[in-house]
A = this chain, B = another copy of it.
Amino acid sequence: MAKDITTRLNDYSQWYNDLVIKGNLADHSSVRGCMVIKPYGYAIWEKMRDALDKMFKDTGHVNAYFPLFIPKSFLSKEASHIEGFAKECAVVTHYRLINDPNGKGVIVDPTAKLEEELIIRPTSETIIWNTYKTWIQSYRDLPLLINQWANVVRWEMRTRLFLRTAEFLWQEGHTAHATEKEAVEETEKMLHVYAEFAEKWMAMPVILGRKTANERFAGAVETYCIEAMMQDGQALQAGTSHFLGQNFAKAFDVQFLNKEGKQELVYATSWGVSTRLIGALIMAHSDDDGLIIPPKLAPLHVVIVPIYKTADDLNKLYEKVKPLIEQLKAKNISVKFDDDETKRPGFKFAEYELRGVPVRLAMGMRDYESGTVEVARRDTKEKSVQQFEGIGNYIETLLDDIQTNIYNKAKAFRDSNIREVNTWEEFQDTIENKPGFISAHWDGTAETEEKIKELTKATIRCIPLNNQQQEGKCVYSGKPSKERVIFARAY
C-alpha cells in the first residue's frame, strides 16, 4: 500500500490531516465545521474518557447531565462571561417544521417561534449555576463535585478535525465550595489530574501553569492550564481548570447558610478537556508512516500477521498462536489475528503502521519450525526475532517499554526546544527560526503581551507553576520582571 501520507517536513498541517483521514480517525461531515468521529477515533476517545472518568471518581466527583439548551438571557447574567466568551453560537429560534405548501420537502413553521431563543451550550456554567441555586442551601450541601460528559457547540469559522470543530465532545467539571481556599485547591487538584493523564496515559509531557489575565476564561478569577509541545514546536493547550471565585454565584444568586448561620456566596470552579486531546495525541507522537499511539490509549495493542501459502499452513499458524491470544486477552492486551486473504502481508504491515498498532507479530512457516516469531514495535520500527516460548510476557513488558519510550522521546524533544531568550532580537530570531517554546521575562502588562503577539504571533502560553523567581528585564519593553513566562505560537 502506498499510504500517500504527506511528510511532516513537507507540510506539517497536511501530514496531520492525512493521518486523521487515512488513519480512519475522523471524517468531515455534510454539516459545516462538524466532524464524524469514526470507530477507530472514537475507540481512542473511549479509552481517554474511561481513564479520566476513573480519575474524577477517585477524587470524589460524580457525573450528572444538564440541558443542551441555554436560554439566551442566561448568557448575559455574568457580565464578563458573555463579554469575553465567543458569541459565535448556534441559536435555536423555532420548534416545528411543516410540509412545504409547494410540495418540496419541509419548511420551518413560521408560527412556531420561541418566545426566547435557546443557545446550544458552548459551555455550561450558566445553566448549571442556575440549577445549583436550587440545590445549595446550607454548608451541608457543599462541596458539590459534579462532572458532565457532553457535546458542546462553538460556531468556529476556521475548523480543523479534532483541533477546532463546531461541535465537539468534552467533559466539564463544575464544583461549588464553601471557602475560597477549598475552591482554589480543587482548581489545582484537577489541573494535576489533567497533567497526570497527559503524561501517564497520553505519554505527553506538559507544563503546568497559570494563564495571563488576557488569556483567562471569561468569568474566571484565575485560569490554570497544561501546555504541550507538538512536533512542529507549536504549543497546544491540552486542558484548563478555572477558579471562578464568587462570580457565577453572584450572577445566579447562589448563597448558602454557613456554620455560623450566616448567608454567604458560594465559590466555584470549572475544568475541562475535549476531543481536541486526540489531535494533540496525533501531533505529539506520530511519524511519516502514520499514527504512533501510546499502548495505554491504543484501541488495538497487538496484531499477528500470519505468512503462509496454504490453508493448512494457516491452520498450523493459528493453532500455534491461539494460546498466546488467550494469554494476552487475559492480561487485558487486545490482539487481532489478521487472516484476511485478500491482502498481502506487506500491505497489512503498512496498514497497521498507519493505524499505530504498538506491536506487530509476523510468523511464517520457518518461524513455525524454529519456534520463533518476528516482533516489530511501532514506535522505533525496530524488528527482532524472538523465541515464541514466553512471548506473552515479553509483549507485556514491551508495551510498557513502548509507553515509556514514547514519553521519553516527547520529553527530550520538548526539553531541547524550550529556549531561554533575553533580548528582543533573539526573541524574533528564535520565534521565526527555531520552533519551540521561549522562556523569557515579561513586564506583566497586557499591552506588552498584545504587542508581542501582534509582531510575532507568539502568545504567553502560561506562567509556570512553582516558577523560579528571578530578577530580570522584559524581553520587549525592558521593564523589570520577576520571573520568566512561556511564549509560543499555538494551536
Chain A residues close to B by CB (< 8 Å): 27, 29-31, 34-39, 42-43, 45-46, 62-76, 82, 87-98, 104-106, 108-109, 117-120, 127, 130-131, 134, 140, 146, 150-151, 153, 155, 167, 169, 342
A35 neighbours in B (Cβ, 8 Å):
67
Residues in B whose Cβ lies below 8 Å from that of A66: 29, 36
Name 17 A/B residue pairs within 8 A (Cβ), A-sorted: A30-B127, A31-B127, A36-B64, A36-B65, A37-B64, A39-B146, A42-B65, A68-B120, A82-B105, A87-B98, A88-B96, A89-B97, A91-B93, A93-B108, A97-B119, A108-B117, A140-B342
**Identical chains bound together, number:** 2
A71 neighbours in B (Cβ, 8 Å): 30-31
Task: Tell me, in angstroms, the Cα distance from A118 to B35 when the chains sit together.
Answer: 15
B27 contacts A169, CB within 8 Å?
A: no
Bound-state CA distance A69–B89 (Å) is 13
Contact check, A62 vs B89: say whether CB atoms are below 8 A apart: no
B88→A105 contact, CB < 8 A: no
**Which residues on the B side are within 8 Å of A150 (C-beta)?**
151
> A46 contacts B63, CB within 8 Å?
yes
Of the candidates A65, A74, A82, the one having the most CB atoms from chain B within 10 angstroms of its own CB is A65
Judging by beta carbons under 8 Å apart, are A90 and B118 in contact? yes
Question: Is the Cβ of B63 less than 8 Å from the Cβ of A42?
Answer: yes
Give chain B nearest CB distance to A343 CB in angstroms: 10
Q: How far is it, in angstroms, between the C-alpha of A74 and the C-alpha of B105 when the chains are bound?
A: 9
Question: How far, in angstroms, from A409 to B88 measured CA to CA in the complex?
Answer: 54
A65 CA to B45 CA, complexed, in Å: 10
Residue of B nearest to A299 (CB): B62
Known: A97-B75, A97-B91, A155-B96. A68 touches B37 (CB 8 A): no
Report the bound CA distance from A65 to B82 in whole Å. 29
Sort A-B residue pairs by CB-CB distance and give the 3 closest, nearest first. A76-B105, A34-B67, A39-B62
Closest chain B residue to A68 by CB distance?
Answer: B167
Which residues in B have their C-beta under 8 angstroms from that of A29?
A: 66-67, 127, 131
Q: Provided the pairs A31-B118, A36-B66, A87-B96 are in contact, do residues A105 and B43 lie with their beta carbons within 8 angstroms?
A: no
Identify which of B37, B43, B62, B131 contacts A27 (C-beta below 8 A). Answer: B131
Known contacts A27-B134, A65-B36, A95-B89; is-contact A75 B120 (Cβ 8 Å):
no
For A151, give its contact among B27, B98, B151 (CB under 8 Å): B151
Contacts of A27 in B (CB 8 A): 131, 134
**Contacts A96-B89, A97-B75 hold; do A38 and B67 have CB atoms under 8 A apart?**
no
* A167 contact set on B, CB distance < 8 A: 67-69
**Residues on the B chain within 8 Å of A153, using CB:** 68
With a cutoff of 8 Å between Cβ atoms, the chain B residues found around residue A95 in the complex are: 88-91, 155
Closest CB in chain B relative to A288 CB, distance in Å: 26
A-B contacts besides A43-B62, A76-B105, A90-B95, 8 pairs, CB < 8 Å: A31-B71, A42-B64, A68-B167, A72-B105, A73-B105, A88-B95, A90-B118, A92-B93
With a cutoff of 8 Å between Cβ atoms, the chain B residues found around residue A76 in the complex are 104-106
User: A151 — which chain B residues lie within 8 A by C-beta?
Assistant: 68, 150-151
In the complex, chain B residues whose CB is within 8 Å of the CB of A42: 62-65
Give Cα A36–Cα B75 distance, bound, in whole angstroms. 18
Contacts of A342 in B (CB 8 A): 140
Chain B nearest CB: distance from A24 CB in Å?
A: 10
Q: Within the assembled complex, what's the spacing in Å between the Cα atoms of A340 and B36?
A: 48
The distance in angstroms between the C-alpha atoms of A30 and B119, with both chains bound, is 13
What's the Cα separation between A40 and B90 when bound, in Å? 31
Which residue of chain B is the closest to A118 with respect to CB atoms?
B31
